């Protein structure tokens, strides 16, 4: 299943209010989770979707606020927060979240569509036209390899819907409730909230985890571009998780996209500073960019995190040794 088709369907769950929510996360919090108020962003994500489907916009705002307090750059969470704001009549606030979702994923046509529609309601036709044109450009750039047919169909419908909304006279600006100055991600749930994650690979009975494992299979087969599509889908279903961000970093790195990879590792480590995989793979990235000192720092961090040894530390240590012996051989 291609990402584009499946994500559109997943997002449609909220737009149409149909379908069932994913199962709540199971198992206890990770033992290493820091103390303090516990937020499970996956649970909050699922509860937010359920609230949106039930038309409970305030609850949806709260839940996606909790998610964004942990993962402020999660594209889907920003999109859903935008939807929640829209449903609560807060178009001006909604626009910030749609913009954030698009910033994280340029081809997020659902977010572009909602941004355009909210902009029209606020009287900003130029922004709506810009989003319509952006969607058309995305469609024009599509090939059979990069976009599947349902995605293209959905994008065309989004552009047509914006066109239709642009046709009549612009609507008067919506009445805006006063509190419209909250910063992105600074939502109920609190910045100090601590996240609780269980390894997604080991999670049973969860559609997002199952999709994540499909991505792991593709990564093992070195089919990185396809793996990225599955990882985006896992993220759309399950909400933010550092394991997904870590493998997004890994897959991008294997495709030579070091800037994106580093960014994903940074996001994973922001969510869970003790994440072994992201710590290891960021070290590997440093090795590949010739920053051996930084790679050694990552190894030192892993050795601290793994008092009983772990594969992440072993693999990074081995790669550093290989790199250093190659360098020594070349200087002889």
Partner 1 sequence: MSLLASLAAAAQLGATAPAAADLSEARWLAPDTDVLAFLTEAPGECLPATLRTSAAAQVEAGRALFRSPLIFGGPAARYGLSCNACHRDGRSNPRFFFDGLSGEPGTADVTTALFSASREDGVFNPRPIPDLVGAGAKKSLGSAGSFHDLEAFIDAAVAEEFQGDVEPSLVAALAAYLRALDPAACTGPRSIGLATALADFRRALDAADAALARADHALADALFLAALQDLQRVAERYRPLPALLSRIHAKAAELTSARRAAAQSPEAGRAALRRFRSGLADFDAALSAAQADSLYDRDVLAASLKR
Residue (168 or 307) nearer to partner 1, CB = 307
Residue (15 or 210) nearer to partner 1, CB = 210
* Interface map 203-232 toward partner 1 (x if CB under 8 A): -xxxx-xx--x--xxx-xxx----------
- Site membership for partner 1, residue 198 (CB under 8 A): yes
> What is the secondary structure of 243-307 as a DSSP string?
HHHHHHHHHHHHTT-HHHHHHHHHHHHHH-TT-HHHHHHHHHHHHHTT-HHHHHHHHHHHHHH-T
Query: Cα(167)–Cα(120) distance, rounded to whole angstroms?
Result: 10
Sole binder of partner 1 in the list 166, 199, 270, 323 (CB under 8 A): 199
Nearest CA-CA partner of 93 in 16, 17, 185, 192: 185
Nearest CA-CA partner of 208 in 27, 216, 107, 81: 216
Phi-psi region of 74 (alpha: psi -120 to 50; beta: other; left: phi over 0): beta
Residues 6+ apart with CB under 8 A from 331: none
Residue (116 or 248) nearer to partner 1, CB = 248
Q: What letters, b where the CB count within 10 A reaches 16 and e where it falls short, cover 231-245? A: bbbbbbbbbbbbbbb
* Interface map 109-148 toward partner 1 (x if CB under 8 A): ----------------------------------------
Scan residues 7-46 and list those touching partner 1 (CB under 8 A). Answer: 9-10, 13, 18-23, 26-28, 31
Residue (69 or 298) nearer to partner 1, CB = 298
Q: Minimum distance from CB of 311 to partner 1 (Å)?
A: 3
Residue (92 or 275) nearer to partner 1, CB = 275
Are 247 and 231 contacting, i.e. CB atoms less than 8 angstroms apart?
yes
Sole binder of partner 1 in the list 106, 180, 182, 314 (CB under 8 A): 314
Q: Hunting for tokens 């997004």 — which residue is that? A: 248
- Site membership for partner 1, residue 201 (CB under 8 A): yes
How many CB atoms lie under 10 A from the CB of residue 15? 14
- Please report, for residues 247, 262, 303, 310, the alpha-carbon distance to residue 15 in angstroms, rounded to integers and kept in the order given: 28, 33, 46, 44
- Site membership for partner 1, residue 325 (CB under 8 A): no
The 3-class SS string of 83-115 reads HHHHHCCCHHHHHHHHHHHHHHCCCCHHHHHHH
Q: Minimum distance from CB of 191 to partner 1 (Å)?
A: 27
Residue (54 or 202) nearer to partner 1, CB = 202
Query: Cα(48)–Cα(68) distance, rounded to whole angstroms?
Result: 11
Residue (255 or 305) nearer to partner 1, CB = 305
Sole binder of partner 1 in the list 128, 237, 295, 320 (CB under 8 A): 237
Scan residues 240-299 and list those touching partner 1 (CB under 8 A). Answer: 276-277
- Site membership for partner 1, residue 5 (CB under 8 A): yes
Nearest CA-CA partner of 148 in 227, 244, 226: 226
Binding residues for partner 1, how many (CB under 8 A)?
Answer: 45
- Site membership for partner 1, residue 202 (CB under 8 A): yes
Name the one range near partner 1 by CB under 8 A: 55-63, 175-183, 290-298, 306-314. 306-314
List the beta strands (DSSP E) in the chain: 38-39, 194-195
**Site residues for partner 1 per CB under 8 A:** 1, 5-6, 9-10, 13, 18-23, 26-28, 31, 198-199, 201-202, 204-207, 209-210, 213, 216-218, 220-222, 237, 276-277, 303, 307-312, 314-315
């Amino acid at each position: 299943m291609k990402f584009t088709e499946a994500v559109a369907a997943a997002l449609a769950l909220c737009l149409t209010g149909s379908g069932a929510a994913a199962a709540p996360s199971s198992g206890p919090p990770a033992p290493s989770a820091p103390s303090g108020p516990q937020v499970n962003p996956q649970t909050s994500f699922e509860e937010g979707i359920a609230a949106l489907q039930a038309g409970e916009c305030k609850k949806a705002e709260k839940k996606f606020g909790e998610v964004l307090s942990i993962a402020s750059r999660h594209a889907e969470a920003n999109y859903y927060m935008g939807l929640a704001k829209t449903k609560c009549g807060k178009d001006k606030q909604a626009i910030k979240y749609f913009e954030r979702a698009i910033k994280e994923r340029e081809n997020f046509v659902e977010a572009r569509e909602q941004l355009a529609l909210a902009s029209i309601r606020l009287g900003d036709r130029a922004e709506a036209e810009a989003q319509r044109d952006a969607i058309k450009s995305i469609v024009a750039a599509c090939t059979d390899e990069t976009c599947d047919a349902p995605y293209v169909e959905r994008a065309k419908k989004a552009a047509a819907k914006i066109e239709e909304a642009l046709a009549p006279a612009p609507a008067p600006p919506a009445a805006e409730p006063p509190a419209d100055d909250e910063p992105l991600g600074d939502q109920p749930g609190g910045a100090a909230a601590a996240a609780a994650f269980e390894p997604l690979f080991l999670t049973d009975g969860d559609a997002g985890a199952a999709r994540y494992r499909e991505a792991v299979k593709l990564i093992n087969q070195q089919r990185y571009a396809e793996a990225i599509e599955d990882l985006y889908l896992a993220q759309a279903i399950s909400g933010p998780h550092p394991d997904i961000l870590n493998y997004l970093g890994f897959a991008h790195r294997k495709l030579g996209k070091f800037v994106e990879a580093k960014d994903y590792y940074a996001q994973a480590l922001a969510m869970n500073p003790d994440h072994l995989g992201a710590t290891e793979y960021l070290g590997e990235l440093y090795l590949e960019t010739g920053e051996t000192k930084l790679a050694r720092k990552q190894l030192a961090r892993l050795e601290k995190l793994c008092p009983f040894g772990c594969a992440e530390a072993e693999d990074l240590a081995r790669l550093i040794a290989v790199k250093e012996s190659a360098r020594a051989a070349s200087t002889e």
